[in-house]
């Protein structure tokens, strides 16, 4: 069998780095605010479009509905969100931020910015921009040339997709965001 140096493959490095970033941000959010990374992602989507449906949130985060429900249950119990039946389609629940979530939001953003700053420490901003642009191009290449079903981009609100998916972030945003 021919050896494969997976530890130096782009996919391995990107995946390992993404997992480390999630762990670091999750740790910081739990310690500073008492929310998890999963709850943070939901609140990010709601900061863009409050009243998003459970289905839109699940699709936007690439989660099955069954995975999302316990997270929303906990958030509702903790007073971060409320579910309201969609009057236009009673089969859907719309999710809204609460005043408590609004009050915690600045601290959550501060935690995310702190992790962003730590993650790019000692890396010139031009390198960060090149890395981001390269990763976006890799994403687009794979999206275009490999027949896979990516569930989290196509059905999210456009604004949420611009924050949560790499192929929607523009170079203008890249210069304003460190990661």
- What pLDDT is recorded for position 150? 61
User: What does the block give as tokens for 155?
Assistant: 């059905």
Dump strand ranges (E) for 56-152: 81-85, 93-97
- What pLDDT is recorded for position 86? 87
- For residue 69, what are the contacts with CB-CB under 8 A and spacing of at least 6? 54
- What pLDDT is recorded for position 174? 36
Alpha carbon 145 to its chain centroid, in Å, reads 24
What is the CATH number that goes with domain 6-176?
1.10.10.10
Per-residue pLDDT of the chain (179 residues; tens, 9 = 90+): 988 888 889 899 999 999 999 999 999 999 999 999 999 999 999 999 999 999 999 999 989 989 999 999 999 999 999 999 988 888 889 999 999 999 999 999 999 999 999 999 999 999 999 999 999 999 999 989 997 766 544 333 333 334 444 433 333 333 334 44
- What pLDDT is recorded for position 23? 97
Give, as one character, the DSSP assignment of residue 166. Answer: G
Contact 107, 32 (CB under 8 A): yes
Cα–Cα dist 156/166, whole Å: 13
Reduce the DSSP state of residue 33 to 3 states and report it: coil
- What pLDDT is recorded for position 156? 33
The structural domains of the chain, with segments of one domain joined by +, span 6-176
């Amino acid at each position: 069998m021919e050896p494969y140096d997976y530890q130096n493959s782009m996919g391995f490095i990107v995946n390992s780095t993404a997992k480390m970033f999630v762990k670091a941000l999750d740790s910081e959010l739990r310690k500073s605010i008492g929310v998890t990374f999963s709850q943070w992602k939901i609140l990010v989507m709601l900061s863009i479009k409050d009243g998003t449906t459970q289905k839109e949130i699940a699709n936007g985060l690439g989660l099955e509905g069954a995975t999302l429900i316990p997270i929303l249950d906990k958030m509702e119990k903790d007073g971060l969100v409320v579910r309201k039946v969609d009057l236009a389609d009673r089969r859907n629940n719309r999710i809204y931020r609460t005043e408590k979530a609004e009050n915690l939001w600045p601290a959550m953003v501060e935690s995310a910015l702190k992790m962003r700053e730590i993650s790019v420490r000692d890396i010139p901003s031009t390198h960060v921009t090149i890395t981001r642009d390269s990763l976006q191009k890799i994403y687009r290449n794979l999206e275009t040339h490999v027949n896979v079903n990516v569930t989290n981009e196509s059905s999210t609100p456009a604004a949420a997709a611009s924050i949560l998916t790499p192929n929607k972030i523009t170079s203008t945003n890249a210069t304003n965001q460190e990661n």
